[in-house]
Structure 1
Amino acid sequence: MPRLNHDRITWLAYAQLGLWGFFLYGFGPVVPLLRDEQGTSAAVAGLHSTALAAGALAGGALFAPVARRFGRAPTIWLGLVGVAAGVSGLALLRPLPATLAIVMVIATAGTLIVSGVNVVLTTRHGSAAPAALAEANAACAGMGILAPLVIGLSVNAGWGWRPGMSIVVALIALVAVAALTRRVRGPRVAVVQPHRASVSAGTRRLPKAYWIAWVLMAVTGSIEVCLSLWTADVLRVHAGMAPGAASAAVAAIVAGMFVGRIFGGRVALRLRPVPLLLAALGVSLAGFALFWVASVGWLAVVGLVVLGLGNALHYPLAISLALAVAGDATDQAAGWSAYSMGVGFGIAPVALGWVADGVGAHLAFLLLPGFIAVAALLAVRLGRALPTPTPVERPTPASV
């Protein structure tokens, strides 16, 4: 069994991804508050999700050349500086065009962080990389629990959401000081290592099963981002929660994801991916039903925790299946996967917001069971399209 070595570089990578998680999960409950400030419709406010998606695509395109020029560790720090600068700008500027532009910049910087951390942990831990990546994403979700709570407390105190979100700037500075003090500089390795597989992968045609998984990632990504951006609205309108409490309650989803990702990795060692994914979608549907029918806050929050438990495994299982069927074209497959998430993050929240403008946020949320049903059908189709099951091979430091 592979052993995971928790060295200083690994702990730093966990912290860096967690800092991004603070913004990512904290920004969702901020969107309805921004809408109220700016006097826009739900559909227009949903354009902030489109800005996140556009920034993610830009960051994915920039990562390789920037990391090749400056190195992986400096690229991660560059991303953190971009997030800090963007959050500072978000605290100062209020017009809609300005907030959309700033969110796109923050998402571009955040993608540099995510890509850098993934590559650093993969190349550093070899066969133990899946465990390291699972822990890193648990750290991200853990910070995501904290962020809505801090923002909710800030709103309830009468300070607004900006002081709560701005805490991430101080946390970035704190981690930077700790890294300098402990002299944690990061691994000095090239990002793009020329090997024969990467050359041939650049022109290889990906199989049908990969594209089914690609659409599956877009659909499950739509579920997650719609919950992140509009759950607080439903809690305010249907469950009668105060704005600050509703914003803080979004942390229940991330809490469920945190627990699900810690224990889900162990379950995945015993069950095949497609049946486990179908089970996770079933848990999500049960959690959604409880959340949607609840007319009191505490019951809705219980439903959100269950939703998070199911959602925790959607993306990890879908991306692992996509990369497993890609053969030696894993670099190409990973690159295209960013676009699937961009599609889900960019379109679904705007569509939900458009429907919400007509029928209200609570009824509009019935789109989510539709997404879950489509995801289940795609998972079944993917199971039929997969070749004979073989163990998923993970890259080693020598082969990345």
Structure 2
Amino acid sequence: MTARLTRDRPTWLLYLQLGVFATYLYGLSAALPMLRIEQGVSQTVAGLHGTMMAIGGVTTGLALPWLIRRIGRRAATWTGLAGMNAGVLLVVLGDALPVTLLGYGLAGGMGAISLYTGMSVLSDHHGPAGPSAISEANAVGGTIGIGAPFFVSLAAQSALGWRAALLVTPLMTVLLALALGRVWIPAQNGSERDGSGQDDSGREDAEREDAKAGTTPGSGDGGDRLRLGWRFHLAGAVLFCCVALEFSFNLWAAKLVTDRTGLSAAVAATALTAFTAGLVIGRFGGARLALRVPASSLLLGALALTSAGWLVFWTSTTPVLSYAGLVLSGAGVSLHFPLALSRVLTAAGGRPGRAAKATAVASLYASAATGVGPFLLGALADAFGTQQAFLMVPVMIGLAVCGILVSSR
């Protein structure tokens, strides 16, 4: 039976919140090569910006269950966006390495709160159509974020400088808050709820005790402890590989384009626009496929497509082929995060406390990947060259495929 996706106002709010998140992510990613040149640091040191994003994400991931219990998922999404913008503004206003590292870390950590809380709400709100909603949300986000690398490149070649382009993120956040700040998922009685069927305050006894004590109400022997089994953690490892792949492309693809084609860093920043274009195409198409094809099978196909795109990109020495390879790679990568995340949430089960815990643990896997992947690739690039470092991509793809096949048995 085909699941049906209904796009109501709260769904569109979450889609657009992800769009704001995408402008931060692709904007700071496109800016990194120019920031590295400006600061005069090695690729390994520049990769620490990705590591700081990971540290921020891990820190907020650990605090996420507590935060949701205290303020609810609605407030958590907006709090995350506010903190994310504070980090972006730090990068805009500061040029010293400690300041930009702090900015990337703050933006990454607070952005993760909004991202993973919103994805959890979408999954709960749409039920069987959750994977499709998550994929479509990422498609909308990519569509909005696709302009960020282009604006960064354009501003870098003007008197404004590349930092001016990053101001798009706080501006869009303010506009979204003014337009849809009061929208959320209505409960049966007309009050507002947090997306799991509970009041936005998050204080109903069942969910509060479930998330706080780590037990499932009504089970035998005083409650079923919320232990997440090996299939969940293997799905988390697949998510790790997928996110590490995406962020490695985000932060270092432009550098390889510069090395292989001779384009300047400012012009090569548009390489991320090509990659993001592939993401958008893949996610809109994948949202429809996710309604009909099992998540694991679709994810395997997406990994195969990424391999083909990577091969074109990795071997190219001309801008046209490099950009074509990035579009193809982006189309494959487009489904990695939404499908891998939906597999993690599905493996956790549907109890409220278990969902909250699974969301937090998933954010830890993904946040760690945002730091490990780009930092490792940067270190390998310093030691062996950027092209050789990008051999890490097929290795990650192979590990993800193995994880999917084992956990699907």
Q: TM-score range by the shorter chain?
A: 0.7 to 0.9
Alpha-carbon displacement from aligned partner over 1:54-102 (angstroms, at most 9, x marks no partner): 1112222333433443343333222222222222221111111111112
Q: Distance in 1 between matches of 2:36 and 2:56?
A: 20
- Shift of residue 4, structure 1, vs aligned partner: 4.3
Q: Deviations over 1:212-243 (max 9, x none)?
A: 22221111221111111100101111122222
Q: 2:215 aligns with which of 173, 184, 200?
A: 200
CA deviation profile, 1:168-216 (whole Å, cap 9, x unmatched): 1222222223236xx5477443346524865436833333222222221
CA distance in 2, matches of 1:379, 1:185: 34
> Equivalent residues in 2 for 1:1-400 (5 A)?
4-179=5-180, 184=183, 187-188=192-193, 189-190=199-200, 191=202, 193=204, 194-195=206-207, 199-200=214-215, 203-327=225-349, 329-384=354-409
Structure 1 pair 313–158 and aligned structure 2 pair: CA distance change class (3 A): same
Backbone CA RMSD of aligned residues = 2.4
Q: Is the 8 A contact 1:64 1:192 kept in 2?
A: no
Structure 1 gap segments, 5+ residues each: 385-400
Give ranges in structure 2 of 5+ residues lacking alignment. Answer: 186-191, 194-198, 217-223
CA gap 1:326/1:39 in 2 versus in 1, 3 angstroms: same
Identity among equivalent positions (%) equals 34
Between 1:195-204 and 1:99-108, the stretch displaced more is 195-204
The structure-2 alpha-carbon separation of the partners of 1:267 and 1:359, relative to structure 1 and needing over 3 Å to count, comes to same
Residue 262 of structure 1: CA displacement?
A: 1.5
* Change beyond 3 A, Cα 1:197–1:64: closer
Once the two structures are overlaid, the 10-residue window that deviates more, 171-180 or 364-373, is 171-180
Cα distance in structure 2, aligned partners of 1:324 and 1:179: 29
Q: TM-score, normalization: structure 2?
A: 0.85
Question: SS of 2:284's equivalent?
Answer: helix
Contact 2:116 2:363 in 1 (8 A): no
CA distance in 2 between partners of 1:107 and 1:332 (Å): 20
Q: Cα gap change, 1:274/1:113 in structure 2, threshold over 3 Å: closer, same or farther? A: closer
- Secondary structure in structure 1 of the residue aligned to 2:215: helix
CA distance in 1, matches of 2:124, 2:394: 38
The C-alpha deviation readout for 1:265-299, integer Å capped at 9, x for no partner, is: 32234333333322211111100000011111111
**Could you tell me which amino acid in structure 2 is paired with residue 273 of structure 1?**
A
- Work out the CA distance in 1 between the residues paired with 2:250 and 2:122: 27
1:59/1:110 contact within 8 Å kept: no
One-letter identity of the residue aligned with 1:223: L
- CA pair 6-363 structure 1, distance change in 2 beyond 3 A: same
Q: 1:225 to 1:158 in 2, by over 3 A?
A: same
- The range that moved more, 231-240 or 78-87, is 78-87
Q: TM-score, normalised by structure 1?
A: 0.87
| CA distance in structure 1 between the aligned counterparts of 2:259 and 2:71, rounded to whole angstroms | 48
SS at match of 1:72: helix
Partners of 1:169 and 1:272 lie apart in 2 by: 37
Is the CA contact 1:63–1:115 (under 8 Å) kept in the aligned structure 2? no
